[in-house]
Structure 1
Amino acid sequence: MALLILGWITIIFGIVLLAGGVWLIALGGSWYYAIAGLGLLATGVLLNMQNMAALWLYLVIWLGTLVWAWWEVGDEWWAQVPRMVAPTVLLIFILFAIPVLRRRRGHAE
C-alpha cells in the first residue's frame, strides 16, 4: 500500500512539474522541469507496477537534477538546497522501497 501511495505522489509531482515545465518552455525558459516531470510521471507508473526499473529511472532523474543544479548555480551550496532537497528526499523513499520492488521481481521470474 505504501508503494502505491509513493507511486501516486510521484505521479502528481510529475504532472505538476510537466505542466509548469511546458509553460516555462513556452516562455522561452529551461526544459529541465518538463523533462523531469515526464521522468517523475514514468517513475510513478513504474512504482505502481512494482517494477524495479522505477529505481533506475529515478536515479537518472536525480543525477540529471544534480547536473542541472550545478550548472545553474555552481558550488553555491545554499542555492543548491532548494534544488536538491525534495529530489533527494524522494530518492530516499524510493530506496526504502527496494525490498518491495525486489520481492515483486522475484515473483515475476
Structure 2
Amino acid sequence: MTHSIYNEGTHFEERRHTHWAAVFIGVLCALLGIVLFAGGVWLAMLGGSWYYALAGIGLLLTGWFLARGLMSGVYVYLVTWAGTLIWAYWEVGTDWWAQVPRIVAPTVILILVLLLIPVLRHRRR
C-alpha cells in the first residue's frame, strides 16, 4: 500500500513540475513577444518591415496559450515559425550565413515548444 501512495505522490509531483515548464516557456514567449511587438511597431513606423510586430503578436499568443496549458500555443508558434522562415527567405534569399541570425533563435524556441507537447496533451485529458 505504501508503494502505491508513493507512486501517486510522485506522479502528482511530476505533473506539477511539467505544468510549470509550460508556464515558464509560455511566460518566456510572452516576454519575447512584448519586446518584438514594441520594437516591430517602432520599426514599422520608421518605414521598416512589419515582420517583428507580427512575430511579436505570434509569440504573445503562443505564450498566453502555453501558460494556460493549451495545445493552441504549439499551433500558433508553428505558424509564427513558418512565417519567420518565409520572411527570412524573402529578405535574404538562400544566403545561409545571412539566414542564421534570422532562424536560429526561433528554431530553438520551436524545439522548446515542441518538447511541451506531451505535457499539454496530458493536461488536456
Fold conserved between structures, TM > 0.5: yes
Matched pairs, number: 106
Aligned position for 2:45: 26
Structure 2 regions of 5+ residues with no counterpart?
1-19
TM-score w.r.t. the length of structure 1 is: 0.96
The offset of 1:2, in angstroms, is 1.4
TM-score w.r.t. the length of structure 2 is: 0.84
Q: Distance in 1 between matches of 2:21 and 2:73?
A: 15
Structure 1 regions of 5+ residues with no counterpart?
none
Aligned position for 1:42: 61
Aligned position for 1:105: 124
Q: How does 1:39-78 map to 2 (within 5 A)?
A: 39-78=58-97
User: RMSD across aligned C-alpha pairs, in angstroms?
Assistant: 0.5
Letter in 2 for 1:5: F
The offset of 1:3, in angstroms, is 1.2
Letter in 1 for 2:53: A
SS at 1:51 equivalent: coil
Q: Which protein has the larger Cα radius of gyration, Structure 1 or Structure 2?
A: 2
